[in-house]
């Protein structure tokens, strides 16, 4: 079995800066060099799932519920007027830790972050591609 760094944090086998936890989720600070805004943290399920494809929806409900709770606290305490949620599933999406996690990134006026970098991508097949996607649900 592959060692999972985040499972070790849940089990207190690795040092971490735990912020908040309940029976289902854990919120902790990233490594100091990885912090990109005041209050930036990771939210993980206590059980191991790799990505969006294998995590049960009930676990996502727990995570999103905690994110709402934490977001309000950060707004009240630090005046974080906004929040970005960042999740990566898959190497192509730059996932580097293969225990499901969501970055909660508090946003502040003039914080210098850019959540929507320009990629140069243009959808040449618009709107047909979205029709194809919508058809997946019919």
In the bound complex, what is the minimum distance in angstroms from residue 29's beta carbon to Zn ion?
18
- CB atoms near residue 55 (< 10 Å): 17
Contact between 99 and Zn ion by CB under 5 A: the answer reads yes
Q: Which residues of 1-35 are buried (b: 16+ CB within 10 A; e: fewer)?
A: eeebebbebbeeeeebeebeeeeebbbbeeeeeee
Selecting among 40, 87, 99, 101, the annotated active-site residue is: 101
- Count the Cβ atoms, other than its own, within 10 Å of residue 42: 21
40 part of the interface to Zn ion, by CB under 5 A: no
Say whether residue 28 binds Zn ion (CB under 5 A): no
Taking CB under 5 A as the binding criterion, the range among 6-14, 24-32, 83-91, 126-134 that sits at the site for Zn ion is 6-14
Q: Which is nearer to Zn ion, 83 or 98 (CB)?
A: 98
6 binds Zn ion (CB under 5 A): yes
Residue 72 backbone zone (phi > 0: left; psi -120 to 50: alpha; other: beta): alpha
C-alpha pair distances (Å), 135 with each of 52, 130, 132, 138:
21, 8, 5, 5
* 99 catalytic residue (yes or no): no
Write out the binding residues for Zn ion, residues 47-86 only, by CB under 5 A.
48
The Cα–Cα gap between 42 and 26 comes to 8
Among the candidate windows 5-13, 69-77, 78-86, 127-135, which touches Zn ion by CB under 5 A? Answer: 5-13
Interface with Zn ion by CB under 5 A: which range of 41-49, 63-71, 72-80, 86-94?
Answer: 41-49
SS3 21: strand
Residues serving a catalytic function are 101
Binding site for Zn ion (CB under 5 A): 4, 6-7, 48, 99
């Amino acid at each position: 079995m592959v060692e999972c760094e985040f499972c070790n944090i849940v089990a207190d086998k690795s040092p971490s800066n735990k912020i908040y936890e309940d029976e289902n989720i854990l919120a902790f600070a990233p490594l100091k060099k990885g912090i990109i805004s005041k209050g930036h943290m990771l939210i993980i399920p206590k059980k191991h799932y790799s990505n969006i494809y294998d995590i049960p929806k009930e676990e996502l409900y727990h995570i999103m519920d905690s994110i709402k709770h934490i977001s309000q606290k950060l707004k009240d305490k630090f005046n974080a007027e906004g929040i970005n949620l960042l999740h990566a599933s898959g190497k192509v999406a730059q996932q580097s830790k293969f225990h499901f996690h969501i970055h909660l990134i508090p946003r502040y006026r003039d914080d210098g972050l850019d959540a929507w970098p320009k990629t140069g991508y243009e959808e040449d097949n618009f709107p047909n591609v979205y029709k194809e996607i919508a058809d997946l649900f019919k």
